[in-house]
Structure 1
Amino acid sequence: MKKKWTALLLSLVMGASLTACGGAAEKPDSGAAQSGTNSSTAAAGDAVKLRIVWWGSQERHDATQKALALYSQKNPNVTFESEFSGWDGYFDKLGVQFAARNAPDIIQMDAAYLNEYVGRNLLADLGSINVADMDKALLDSGKVNGKLYAMPLGSAAFGMVYDKSVIEKIGLKAPEFGWTWDDYYKFGQEAKAKLGSDKYVFVDQSSDLYDYTAYQLSQGKGQVFTDNKLTIDKDTWLGYMKKQDELRKAGITTPPDMTVTDKELDPKLDSVINGAALVRHIFSNQVGSITGLKPNALDFVSLPKGQQTGGWLKPGMFWSVNKESKHQEEAKKFIDWFINDAEAGKLLGLSRGIPGNKKVVDALSPSFGDSDKTSLAFINKIAPDAQPFVAEPQGWGNFKKDYKVIVEKLMFGKATPEQAYDELMKKAKEYDAAAKK
């Protein structure tokens, strides 16, 4: 599956790169590009208001609002009530809305929660949507038990961003794609020596399960979830956490009080944006957002590797439809238009990753800006050796938050790595038991 997805993705993004560099872009097929709601049919229909919710940066918010306005222009009977937020608290609020049977019609879904929401029978089957031009392997990422419950809106690569302007200023060699964990630690020591006591090299992201997942993969110890169970390798986890503690004590990573207030892509609270640190993790679909916040200062690199690479490709996010929506068919028509319409694609750009529809990518590529080209280059460099992405099993959607809480105790010195590991395993047993009910 990994090789197939990687090959398909590479062919898609390489084709887009060529057209972005002056190659002839394939003209979008008018039939595929205009699939979805027919304007005249929609105009004659009953008035429909669709509630739609998503998380993301201001860039994604602005692009989505423009697309919604265009859809309403083409379909005068359809209007939108949009709800937009950052990632923090998004699924907490959504869970409350579903419990109150007041959830939106169209929901931006994440792979970590997909199995859980399908298992609770909350999402509609999207099998009627036209997917003729969608990347099949990417499309499969939105399926559960063979049915499509989540329409992938793009693919993203997991890597790192660094402040090249500061690195150049202090006279260090910048990280390179393919760097190793030894390179990473050496860079941390050398950069810290030049930065002084009040600046840090790495944002401490050891409480993020994705960062540990990448580390375990790089050490050849496999996935963190296997056969619907948590499979954290104890020795690898303890070694990783002890090393992170060394980095904190050496002032190489951000101190705990700064770490817990760090907020990715926030103009004031993102430690790389505000200049407190040099390096943090990033997904390729966030390139435009972060470069917009700090123009001409940043560059991108893969996650460090050990025995093998640690970064992966993943569906950036999905659209799903509330199974209890009174406007399911209109919601599906909108999603059909969203993924297939070239004009919509141009408004949305790469705000949700590389679109899964090659014809849309081809239509987009001649107008790619610098950040779009950077995002494509980023994903192209990571794709050949990328690890497969494994989503959290059904019932484990909130585990990432519990993991964060447990590791933060360790960061503040309120638990040893061994104690934190034991608490983690205890929490995993609770999830196992709940999943079996």
Structure 2
Amino acid sequence: MESARKLLAIGLSSMLAVTLAACGVKEEAKPAQPAASTNTNPANTATDKKPVKLRIMWWGSQARHDATLKALDLYTKKNPNVTFEPEYQAFDGYLDKMSTMAAARNLPDVIQTDAAWISDWGSTNRLMDLTNAINTKDVDPTLLNTGKYKDKLIAIPLGNNSFGMVYNKATVEKLGITPPKHGWTWDEFFKFAKDAKAKLDKDKYVIKDFTVENGFYDAYQLSKGKGWPRADGKFNFDKATWLEWMNKFAEMRAAGIVAPADVNVSDKKLDAKLDLLVQDKILLRDSHSAEFTGFDALKPGQLALVTAPKDKQGGGWLKASMYWSISPDTKSADEAKRFIDWFINDPEAADILGTSRGVPVSKKIVSGLESKFSPADKVGIELNNKTAVDGQTFYPGPGLKGGWDKFEKEYTNLVQQIMFGKLTPEKAWDEVEKLGKEIK
């Protein structure tokens, strides 16, 4: 596929420090020096030394938090007038918190954002236009454009990323199960799940309940050649494919392959105490390549990544891992821009951040860090490369406009009722279809 090959080129060229880690200690944003940045924008050559405190917020694993805090420390050492007020957490609840802050016009100066939010946030002018404000000459234009809403660049990509699965390689080998492999099919996935359950204890499960994981149903329908379920902002759920998926999981739920509903809802991704994979309650779950270093930090050397299963087409996709954006209400816009410029272009920052946010976006940074890739970094990079072979063109979704806000809320409720056994897939589909007809 043309788009997949182009994205592969991006992945290879940016193959370096995805995991730019996590949040800011204290820092001061002094004008970027030539060695740290080549940006010639006036905002990056200022010499104003007045004290500035930047609020900065992101989500991620502990490894990302630790790395980001170290990077913020370094920035303050280089720019003593700039300090940071960091806020960081797991992904769960992050968007709700960000939305509440935006409503109160109290967003942090610098905010980590996701591709799925660009349409909603761009259409309501809740993120600053950064066009020509940051030095992005070493960032692939295709990747950079994913941060645009219409003609405005509202989000600066931080890393390359791909959607796949992470599994407990050590346990699979111990049980003598044939391990998953890159390029496997959905039939092979379902067979793996059945074979693995036969060798697991009764209170152990193979997978989470993927009926409540939108990414997995997206991958399933894409692989069948039916397109994205929310393609171009329109209701595009395929009835036969959706019912096939839901009924397959009903069978696996009954067979004990899938974690029961009460166990499933207790999961919190990348949480040392609540992540079902980390706690050895399941063997396999969803993961993006940029998340692997976080998983590996929690279970060193025990895990591996594998591509999303395919059918007629590939089921996975490549995308930007995440972005930095700036609040339109910030009173420190120039300092925030200088910081982001430094974050993506400075070699010392890259040394600290590594691949905590995916393979870095700067080609220069990638070429300088290649020899320093850790084994965990290389696992994530391999997933990017294998996914690119037949990967789909990523679609961030329609946002919550045109009735999608109601749809997403009600859809989640319906699939949860299926998971808890209170609604059959067939009856649930009737309701899903009705909701789909309300989309404008």
TM-score using structure 1 length: 0.90
* Alignment partner, residue 379 of structure 1: 384
How far apart are 1:171 and its partner, in Å? 1.3
Choose which of 346, 350, 358 in structure 1 pairs with 2:351.
346
Residue identity in the other structure for 1:229:
K
Structure 1 residue runs of 4+, over 2 Å off? 13-16, 30-45, 394-406, 418-430
- 2: CA distance, partners of 1:280 / 1:263: 12
Q: Which residue of 1 aligns with 2:362?
A: 357
Q: TM-score, normalised by structure 2?
A: 0.90
Counterpart of 2:215 in 1: which secondary structure? helix
Within 2, Cα distance between the matches of 1:58 and 1:133? 29
Quote the offset at 1:425 in angstroms: 3.8
2:86 corresponding residue in structure 1: 82
In structure 1, what is the equivalent of residue 326 of structure 2?
321
1:228 to 233, 236, 246: 233
- Does the aligned pair in 1 maintain the 2:167–2:304 contact within 8 Å? yes
Relative distance call for 1:38 and 1:77 in structure 2 (3 A) is: farther
The Cα shift of 1:214 comes to 0.4
Assess, with a 3 A threshold, how the Cα gap between structure 1 residues 402 and 62 changes in structure 2: closer, same or farther: farther
| Change in CA separation of 1:191 and 1:97 when aligned onto 2, cut-off 3 Å | same
- Shift of the 342–332 alpha-carbon distance from structure 1 to 2, 3 Å rule, reads same
Structure 1: tracts of 5 or more residues without a match: 17-29
Distance 1:429 1:255 in 2: 32
Is the 1:115–1:144 Cα contact (8 Å) retained in structure 2? yes
CA contact (8 A) 2:15 2:366 kept: no
Whether contact under 8 Å (2:11, 2:359) holds in the other structure is: no
In structure 1, the residue matched to 2:13 is: 12
Name 2:75's counterpart in structure 1.
71
Aligned-partner Cα distance in 2 for 1:428–1:51? 40
Q: 1:308 aligns with which of 313, 332, 346?
A: 313
For the Cα contact (< 8 Å) 1:50–1:105, is it kept in 2? Answer: yes
- The structure 2 residue matched to 1:412, chosen from 403, 411, 420, is 420
C-alpha distance in structure 2 between counterparts of 1:346 and 1:402, whole Å: 44
1:348-396 Cα deviation digits (max 9, x unpaired):
1111111111111112222221111221122122122111110122425
Aligned to 1:240: 245
Query: Residues 151, 400 of structure 1: CA spacing in aligned structure 2 closer, same or farther, 3 A cutoff?
Result: farther
Q: Distance in 1 between matches of 2:411 and 2:365?
A: 38
Structure 2's unaligned 5+ residue stretches are 18-32
The one-letter code of the counterpart of 1:419 is: K
Cα shift at 1:299: 1.4
How much does 1:426 deviate?
4.2
**Aligned residue pair count:** 419
1:424 corresponds in structure 2 to 432
The alignment yields a C-alpha RMSD, in angstroms, of: 2.3
Q: Is the 2:123–2:149 Cα contact (8 Å) retained in structure 1?
A: no
Listed as ranges, the matches of 1:13-412 within 5 Å are: 31=34, 33-35=36-38, 44-127=48-131, 128-395=133-400, 403-412=411-420
Q: Which moved more, 1:1-10 or 1:337-346?
A: 1-10
CA contact (8 A) 1:157 1:311 kept: yes
Offset, 1:314: 1.2
Aligned-residue identity in percent: 47
Determine if contact 2:16/2:365 at 8 Å carries over to the other structure: no
Measured in 2, the distance between the counterparts of 1:108 and 1:121 equals: 16
Q: C-alpha separation between the residues in 2 aligned to 1:15 and 1:320? A: 21
Q: CA deviation at 1:15?
A: 9.1
Per-residue deviation, residues 36-84 of structure 1 (Å, max 9, x unmatched): 6999976742211111111111111111111111111111111111111
